[in-house]
Structure 1
């Protein structure tokens, strides 16, 4: 039995992280405790269809009509070199927030690492499980297994934008991590600090007919903006780096006490309500 499976089912203890068996199948969990399992916009329409097909086109559309391309093909492919460099830096048990179709969860599971993905899209969770990874149909703001004991949290592919409130998301991730735990976030290429209501649309529906009717809050942050938010919340920057046109920032959470052991010098890591902008410049809707 793999540690990844045990992590989700509670049958195995991995690096101090053990969860209830009910967490392996979120439909068995009481809805009042877990909250809504799937966001309406993620459960049907263009987003779910794109994940099932493994390809776009797909966009986030702001209310002013500007579009941000979503890199569905990359999400549905195997982890690329930039992804692998992030995964090599993960410590201990890993929680992938907004895991999407599961390329990172599957890669870590194949390495025998304890890892769990969470996403608000049934299509994303199903695809992750088909790849051999463990995933729950949850929002990061719902109750999650092993809160306060994760060693690493990933917010990849722009997922620092989940919920449209970076400060609230950082607070939530801090509560999920063990003291001194590692957050790896992927940020926008440009120095942007933007919050907006967005919809997921495909190219056919990008002019507003028949696309997703459900807007949700989203944020886009460049590395400087995330560093500002993190500093106010007393996160410690560990490292920032680039890979091609992608940007990453590793942050370490506050430790329980000043006597805690100093972090390993080699540890670095990166990481919306769900998925996932990859481009940094919105393109005008034409």
Structure 2
């Protein structure tokens, strides 16, 4: 994105992912999307691709938080799982050398589930497409959730 002249910021809780982004010339922060972020309410576009709809194990909470990051008129491009699924689970990362990380909540949402979660979180679908078997939706905020609900991280009480 930055190579094409777009202001871009990557957010990841994994230091290695942030390091890779920075080495490639991108800007990235090592933190949760549920923490305070620079430019809140000023971003034109947010991307939740490559399975990132699963962050926090609660797609509706993530979608609510994402709405808080966008400027008026902003949009979200979200990728659905390649199969029709709507599941929540705990996962552990395997470093490939036999060491498992700490379990953390994750979710997967196929196309229909993604659109259901988006509608429930106050988003409106303005486009959808498939490229090379990958399903995407373009979403814009519709009705706004309350500020408290939008800021609640998965597992927190509103």
Q: TM-score, normalised by structure 1?
A: 0.48
Match of 1:227 in 2: 115
2:66 counterpart (146, 168, 173): 173
Point out the structure with the larger strand share: 2
RMSD of aligned Cα (Å) = 1.6
Matched residue, 1:41: none
Residue 125 of structure 1 corresponds to: 18
2:37 aligned partner: 144
Higher Rg of the two aligned structures: 1
- Post-superposition Cα deviations, 1:126-184, rounded to whole Å, max 9, x if no partner, equal 11111111111111011100111111000110100000011110110011111231001
1:230-261 per-residue CA deviation (whole Å, 9 max, x = no partner) reads 112221101111111211111011378xxxxx
Which among 134, 137, 144 is matched to residue 249 of structure 1? 137
CA offsets, 1:50-107, max 9 Å, x none?
xxxxxxxxxxxxxxxxxxxxxxxxxxxxxxxxxxxxxxxxxxxxxxxxxxxxxxxxxx
Distance of aligned partners of 1:122 and 1:141 in 2 relative to their CA distance in 1, 3 Å threshold: same
Deviations 1:207-226 (A, max 9, x none): xxx42140000000001001
Q: Kindly tell me the number of residue pairs found equivalent between the two proteins.
A: 144
Q: Which portions of structure 1, spanning 4 or more consecutive aligned residues, are displaced by more than 4 angstroms?
A: none
**1:202 CA displacement:** 5.0
Aligned to 2:104: 216
Q: Which residue of 2 aligns with 1:237?
A: 125
Q: Which residue of 2 aligns with 1:88?
A: none
TM (norm. structure 2) is: 0.85
